[in-house]
Amino acid sequence: MRNQNKQQDFKKLQTILNELPWYVDEFINHKLRKLSTASLFNYCHDYKIFFNWIVSENLWSGTIKDIPLERLEKMTVLEIESFLNYLHYELDNKELTVNRKLSALKSLFNYLQNIAETPDLKPYISRNVMAKIEFNEVKETMETKANKMEGKILLGDEYERFRLFVANDYGELHKENKKLYNFHQLNKERDTAIVSLILGSGLRLSELIGIDLDDIDFSKYCVRVIRKGNKEQYVFFSQIAMADLQDYLTIRASRYQVDKSNKALFISAPIGPKGKSRRLTARSVEKLIEKYATAFGKPSLSVHKLRHSFATRYHAEINDVPKLRRQLGHSSIQTTMIYTHIKNDDLKTAVDKMDMPKEQAD
298 is catalytic: no
204 is catalytic: yes
Catalytic residue chosen out of the listed positions 307, 315, 325, 343: 307
Distance separating alpha carbons of residues 28 and 38, to the nearest angstrom: 12
Catalytic residue chosen out of the listed positions 224, 304, 323, 326: 304
Query: Which of 172, 282, 26 has the alpha carbon at shortest distance from 290?
Result: 282
Catalytic residue chosen out of the listed positions 145, 228, 298, 323: 228
> Torsions phi, psi of 136, nearest 5?
-60, 140
Complete DSSP assignment for 222-274? EEEEEEGGGEEEEEE--HHHHHHHHHHHHHHHHHTT--TT--BSSEEPP-STT
Q: At what angle do helices 95-110 and 22-31 cross, to 10 degrees?
A: 100
Q: At what angle do helices 282-296 and 178-199 cross, to 10 degrees?
A: 100
DSSP state of 88: I
- Cβ–Cβ under 8 Å, residues 99 and 136: yes
- Cβ–Cβ under 8 Å, residues 175 and 181: yes
23 is catalytic: no
DSSP state of 325: H
Catalytic residue chosen out of the listed positions 313, 314, 339, 343: 339
Torsion of Cα atoms, 111 then 112 then 114 then 120, to 10°: 130
- Cβ–Cβ under 8 Å, residues 278 and 263: no
Residues 155, 207, 169: CA angle, nearest 5 degrees: 45
Amino acid at 225: V
339 is catalytic: yes
Strands 278-279 and 267-268: antiparallel
List, by residue number, the catalytic residues.
Answer: 204, 228, 304, 307, 330, 339
